[in-house]
Structure 1
Amino acid sequence: MKAVETGNGVRVLKGGGLDPQRISFDSIPIIDLEPMFSGDAEAKARLAAELRKACTEVGFLYIKNHHVPKAVIDETFAVAESYFSLPDDVKMANHVSKSKNNRGYAAMLEENTDPTGRGDLHQSFDIALDVPADDPDVLAGKVLYGPNQWPEGQPAFRAALETYHREMLTLSGRLLHAFALALGLDETYFDGMVDKPLATLRVLHYPPQFGEIDDRQIGIGAHSDYECFTILAQKEGISALQVLNASGEWIAADPIPGCFVVNIGDQMARWTNDLFASTVHRAINRSGKERYSIPFFFGPNYDTVVEALPSCVDEDHPAKYEPVTSGDYVNGRFAATFAHYAEAQKREAGTA
């Protein structure tokens, strides 16, 4: 059996091989988010119950009626495809190593999400909340805050990603309200913890893999996400995402028109004392086509202390994890995943 090291401990994978089990999409629930926009209390309560069931039993779900315009999603896919087709030297001008806060371009094999792997077969471009260099939090050395870097002569790329990021912040607020209700909390419980969130938008390009594949080098290795939750857009018709279920089997999470995929991250698992499952997943692009995806990683403010919520602990269920600030947790996971980020942190600390 293979084990995967995550920020919340080791997960054991039951089966080997690269093929997911193909079963009905009913196994990954579809949640209608419309009640979070309509304001109907009874409908919100029903949604909260469905969301709680999905998060405790699966950890992955689809959301529909999310109110993000299709045109915004389509434009972001279009500019991503155009950007990743640029020559390597043009993209490397904005390499993440030139950013103190992990923003910009990363080439093939530079990320290694699974510590047992040999590098991930994708290239990426990251932005996050755009915080000026003279902001007090940036000056205080909170390295996940800071300005984005952008490729020169690509105004459409910047405009599309900034628009998409704004849409995701709005959607994340609605979704976090739903999570609060699902946990038996006041709808606005988390609001004061996410007014300056660690919210990263990434566009990804996965080339197709053919023939015999080394499971140590796939599109993105088995991992769990670091933040509270991830909202993922996938291009229709291209299968790659696989989710590890409670039985240790890989389940396909193919695109569904009009839906985002949402998965629970490690910080939400810590908040809920593992009541909500932070689910291991991976991507293997054997579609024969280029694959593009757009994940948005949403987490609380840098200094927010992530510890078990009062509604998730009792005498029989003591807190499993030590409290940790959001910034310290994500910093540690980035250092474990990105070699360039770990080296930059060492240089900043004077230990390199």
Structure 2
Amino acid sequence: MDKTQSIPTIDLSDFPAQYEKLRRSSEEWGCFRVVNHNIPFELMQEMKQVVRSLLDLPIQIKQNNVDVIAGSGYWAPSPKNPLYEALGLYDMASSQAVHTFCSQLDASPSQRDTVAKYAKAIHEVIMDIGGKIAESMGLKGDYCKEWPCQFRINKYHFTPQSVGSAGVQLHTDSGFLTILQDDENVGGLEVMDKSGEFVAVDPLPGSLLVNLGDMATVWSNGRLHTVKHRVQCKEAKTRVSIATFLLGPKEEAVDPPPELVDSDHPRLYNSFTYEEYRKLRLSTELQAGEALALVHT
């Protein structure tokens, strides 16, 4: 692993000055940290406490967190990822969906309040970042305003025996972009740069990590980079993180804006919906960006 590299940091309070750095980071790395994102540190800490308590619930209660779309509910540890489990919420912009998620898990009034506040705050940030990425490419318009967002809270059961093994296998995210509130105490996240080297993403309390997914590559006609990443077990501690996924158009096809297609940049991918692509990834078990080759023109 190359210890000298580190992923870029974007200051959300420093626009328009950061547009060029944002575009370069999105094209070359497919990931970056954001700071000065307007989510209070206290809310981030409160949400992490709620997440820990929800993931510590008995299995019978966690199983009430059922799927809305395949894979959006409770994930139990599996043979492929035996150290990992998660709870999920589909369409976090919907107050009804947030209410249903909290009810499934018998959340207390204060827990419900924290989840609702966090969902609203992180949704505003993910929409802001999606819009800024489009603007960094010279585009105007609300491209992602109606796209659904999915929420996943993750727990890694790291033990002394599991040190050195994978918490989650190498993968890309299927959607457009992911915001991760990482564990501020326990590292292990690694991203792959374009040369194939793994770069450690060490915890930085108060910051958020952004990963671009497969939909970003398709939507941008190949300009934006989908980043491969994994979680390695570095120490025998429980690791908790909060991921928010901006998926893609709900029902329309994922088509690049006309400004990104011309004679020098012919269209690279066929027209399909996000849901069709997600099902393709599930059925082929191609989880690290390889499914993009199957939709290439």
**Structure 2 residue aligned with 1:96, among 66, 73, 81?**
66
The 1:209/1:244 distance shift into structure 2, 3 A limit, reads: farther
Instruction: Give the corresponding residue for 1:283.
Output: 231
Note if 1:82 corresponds to 2:61: no
Instruction: Give the corresponding residue for 1:121.
Output: 83
- State the secondary structure of the residue aligned to 2:62: helix
Cα distance in 1 for partners of 2:218, 2:188 equals 28
8 Å contact from structure 1 (residues 121, 206) kept in 2: yes
**Structure 1 residue aligned with 2:40, among 59, 62, 69?**
69
Question: TM-score w.r.t. structure 1 length?
Answer: 0.72
**How do residues 21-170 of structure 1 correspond to structure 2 at under 5 angstroms?**
21-25=2-6, 28-35=7-14, 43-44=15-16, 46-92=17-63, 94-96=64-66, 99=68, 102-109=71-78, 118-129=80-91, 148=101, 150-170=104-124
Name which one, 1 or 2, has greater alpha-carbon Rg: 1
Cα distance in 2 for partners of 1:257, 1:335 equals 37
Deviation at 1:60, TM superposition (A): 1.0
- State the secondary structure of the residue aligned to 2:221: coil
Note if 1:255 corresponds to 2:225: no
Instruction: Give the corresponding residue for 2:152.
Output: 202
Instruction: Give the corresponding residue for 1:330.
Output: 278
- Structure 1, gaps ≥5 residues long: 1-19, 36-42, 111-117, 134-143, 338-352
Cα distance in 1 for partners of 2:40, 2:133 equals 23
Cα distance in 2 for partners of 1:100, 1:158 equals 22
- Structure 2, gaps ≥5 residues long: 286-297
Work out the number of aligned pairs and report it. Answer: 282
The 1:303/1:214 distance shift into structure 2, 3 A limit, reads: same
Deviation at 1:331, TM superposition (A): 4.1
Cα distance in 2 for partners of 1:29, 1:53 equals 9
- State the secondary structure of the residue aligned to 1:254: coil
Cα distance in 2 for partners of 1:214, 1:257 equals 24
The share of aligned pairs that are identical, in percent, is 26
**Structure 2 residue aligned with 1:318, among 266, 271, 277?**
266
Deviation at 1:315, TM superposition (A): 2.0
**Structure 1 residue aligned with 2:182, among 205, 226, 234?**
234
